[in-house]
């Protein structure tokens, strides 16, 4: 890893939505936002039967080599069926789709990838949208997503939707269609951005792969610190718990007394991310997008609210859009079955 103090973030007037992790003070948000899992004291919340059945359909877990890095991949379904590639949001991981993907495994070959620097994928000296696009293509090829008689459909949530849209605009020959899930462009309001930058500037003791920034002594303590970015309450706590447990890895405690738990993502990713290629799609006017694009979003999403306020967006004006009622930005947490239904309906008739 590079020294973060020597890495200059690529900042532009307009950029994709900012869901980077930031430090928050106790009491800054209501408890249901600040620490949604704390009341359970390390125990999993009760889950409905459909969810337990879905996660019981364990994927095959493997790694794909891309640009010198190991990329974590989860797969469901048979090779030879139409391919779906699932891409998660920032600081997330492939298991964000593990309770969604089984609903499509009968009809599709499904692959969910952890972006470089997230999940169990390798951390990099630097990150770029061009590289994420190459990683996605490597995963699609290696997991047989092209073997179903057509090119795969990419589905990306939030920051992952930005990756999917970039690939769709630059490499239309690689995919049959692109589905974005609550993906916005425009970033946070100026005061919120200024506060985020102030907090990021206060970060010291830059972490490395073998020395994470913060290690919690117990799994209970780590789960109590889990929260979503952008901030929102967890619509279904059993989903939040499932995601949180798979967001953690073991790491040595700072005092050398044993092992604790820390987050899997590279906390310096935002400072090592070259956003210039993606920002150009926003600042240089709407790109010509040959790939069919659809958008599923949470009706109460902050990300969508920013777009409706007139922030610049490269998304096609005539794309198909589906609103999910009673859902915020993290649609699969708030309304997982509604998201499944929307995806199923869309894939059944679109693109024509």
Query: Among candidates 141, 140, 144, which has minimal Cα distance to 77?
Result: 144
pLDDT of residue 214: 85
pLDDT of residue 307: 72
Contacts of 14 by beta carbon, 8 Å cutoff, 6+ apart: 185, 186, 187, 279, 282, 283, 311, 312
Q: Degrees (nearest 5) of the Cα angle 139, 75, 92? A: 75
CB atoms under 10 Å from CB of 307, counted, come to 19
Q: Write out the chain's pLDDT in tens, 352 residues.
A: 333 333 333 333 334 444 555 455 556 788 899 999 999 999 999 999 999 999 999 999 999 999 999 999 999 999 999 999 999 999 999 999 999 999 999 999 999 999 999 999 999 999 999 999 999 999 999 999 999 999 999 999 999 999 999 999 999 999 999 999 999 875 544 444 455 455 444 443 445 555 556 899 999 999 999 999 888 999 999 999 999 999 999 999 988 899 999 999 999 998 899 988 888 877 777 788 999 999 999 999 987 777 777 667 788 888 999 999 999 999 999 999 999 999 999 999 999 8
Q: What is the CATH number of domain 49-187+269-344?
A: 3.40.50.1820
Contacts of 149 by beta carbon, 8 Å cutoff, 6+ apart: 82
């Amino acid at each position: 890893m590079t020294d973060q103090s020597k890495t200059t973030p690529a900042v532009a007037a307009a950029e994709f939505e900012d869901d980077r992790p930031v430090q928050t003070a106790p009491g800054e948000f209501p408890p249901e936002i600040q620490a949604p899992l704390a009341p359970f004291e390390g125990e999993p919340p009760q889950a409905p039967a459909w969810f337990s059945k879905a996660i019981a359909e364990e994927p095959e877990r493997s790694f794909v080599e891309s640009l010198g890095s190991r990329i974590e991949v989860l797969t469901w379904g048979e090779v030879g069926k139409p391919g779906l590639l699932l891409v998660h949001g920032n600081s997330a991981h492939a298991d964000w789709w593990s309770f969604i993907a089984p609903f499509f495994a009968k009809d599709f070959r499904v692959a969910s990838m952890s972006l470089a620097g997230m999940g169990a994928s390798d951390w990099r000296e630097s990150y770029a949208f061009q590289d994420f696009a190459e990683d996605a293509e490597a995963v699609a090829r290696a997991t047989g997503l092209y073997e179903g008689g057509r090119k795969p459909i990419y589905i990306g949530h939030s920051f992952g939707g930005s990756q999917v849209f970039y690939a769709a605009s630059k490499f239309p020959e690689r995919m049959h269609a692109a589905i974005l899930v609550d993906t916005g462009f425009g970033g946070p309001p100026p005061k919120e951005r200024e506060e985020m930058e102030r907090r990021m500037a206060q970060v010291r003791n830059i972490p490395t792969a073998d020395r994470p920034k913060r290690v919690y002594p117990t799994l209970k303590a780590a789960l109590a610190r889990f929260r979503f970015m952008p901030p929102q309450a967890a619509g279904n706590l059993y989903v939040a718990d499932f995601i949180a447990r798979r967001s953690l890895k073991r790491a040595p405690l700072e005092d050398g007394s044993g092992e604790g738990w820390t987050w899997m993502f590279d906390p310096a990713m935002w400072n090592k991310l070259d956003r210039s290629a993606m920002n150009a799609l926003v600042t240089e006017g709407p790109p010509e997008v040959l790939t069919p694009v659809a958008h599923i979003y949470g009706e109460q999403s902050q990300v969508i609210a920013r777009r409706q306020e007139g922030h610049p967006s490269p998304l096609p004006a005539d794309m198909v859009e589906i609103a999910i009622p009673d859902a915020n930005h993290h649609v699969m947490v708030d309304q997982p079955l509604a998201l499944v239904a929307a995806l199923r309906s869309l894939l059944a008739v679109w693109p024509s």
